Amino acid sequence: MKNFKDKVAVITGAGSGIGRALAQELASAGAKLALSDINEAGLKETADLLGLGEDRLMTRKLDVADRQAFYDFADDVVNHFGYANMIFNNAGVALGATVEDMNYDDFEWLMNINFWGVVYGTKAFLPYLKQAGEGHIINISSIFGLVGIPTQSAYNAAKFAVRGFTESLRIELEMENSPVSCTSVHPGGIKTNIAKAARMDKSVERITGGDKEKAIQDFEKLFRTTPAEAASTILKGVRGNKRRVLIGSDAVAVDTMQRLLPTSYQKLVAMGQKYMNKK
């Protein structure tokens, strides 16, 4: 998809961060936007920033973990605009906990949003993208979809699953010569509020050697890329029909590490965490 003008782009998690930045860049490129977020206040802020009329913008409060609500949203988007071309499955949450101490409610909460939300968005919109004759599915994984990280087992599980799901879908679409394609996106540290909004178990302190607030602060120090830079990289990847998009030098470094040291990277991660604990 080389040109976004008059294309209908659907974005989840559009109330802040990468989702808002995607909406802004796509609006500048002439796209029509269907934006959703569970945070109505943030979603209104995004809409106000865009300043578009109903002919180019619709918004909807959406819990991506609600399958029926997602399918209803897809129907409403097509009823409003007549078609849909892109779905950016961007909504996500974070959870810090060891495998041993993580409770099932938190684990299921994260998986329902970060994985099942991607599945619902993909399956709800795929038939409409095919009907439009040109479409693209953009699923946001993470560098944590490339390597395992201590206290991030739930997030790793979801983001590895998003990666595998998307790569499998890409092959299926190519085998059937579909007018729809898809891309797996792997951001590194992006300057968003995801860490502040994360659920953090006390067990994180045992691994990081500090309190939960310090763990969040240390994590945020790794955030190097702005949402605007991330959005620009993602859309460049869509234009180039890339299978995988890495966002940030940290993502490139992690990807390289995993390729060169597919299993022994785990020792390096453990050594790095122990070093950080001593500082």
Give domain status of residue 265, yes or no: yes
Number of domains in the chain: 1
* Span 171-184, average pLDDT: 98
Is residue 12 in some structural domain? yes
Residue 271 predicted with pLDDT over 90:
no
Return the SS3 of 226: coil
Residue 2 lies in a domain: no
Across the chain, what does the average pLDDT equal?
A: 93
Closest CA to 85 of 27, 13, 9: 9
Task: Look at residues 159, 179, 174, 149 and name the one whose alpha carbon lies nearest to residue 83.
Answer: 179
pLDDT in tens, 45-77: 999 999 999 999 999 999 999 999 999 999 999
In three-state secondary structure terms, 88 is strand
Side chain identity at 149, as an amino acid letter?
I
pLDDT at 211: 61
Burial 108-140 (b: 16+ CB within 10 A, else e): ebbbbbbbbbbbbbbebbbebbeebeebbbbbb
pLDDT for residue 207: 80
Catalytic annotation, residues = 155
Half-sphere exposure of 56 (CA within 13 A, CB side): 18
Residue 276 has pLDDT above 90, yes or no: no
152 in any annotated domain: yes
Q: Given this model, what pLDDT does residue 105 score?
A: 97
**Beta strands 8-11 and 86-89, pairing class:** parallel
The band of 222, judged by pLDDT with boundaries at 50, 70 and 90, is: low
Locate all alpha helices (DSSP H) within 82-202, ordered by sequence: 104-114, 116-132, 153-175
Helices and strands in the chain, H and E counts: 11, 9
The CATH number linked to 170 is: 3.40.50.720
Q: Is the pLDDT at 224 greater than 90, yes or no?
A: no
Arithmetic mean of pLDDT, 125-142: 98
Any domain includes 1: no
Within 10 A of 229 (CB to CB), how many other CB atoms are there? 16
Is the pLDDT confidence value at 243 over 90? yes
**Quick one: CA dihedral 235, 16, 32, 177, positive or negative?**
positive
Q: Which tokens is 252 given?
A: 């490139």
Give the range of the structural domain holding residue 257, as residue numbers without chain letter. Answer: 8-278
Q: Which two tokens stand for residue 143?
A: 């560098």
121, two tokens: 């968005």
Is 3 within a domain?
A: no
Q: pTM (2 decimals)? A: 0.92
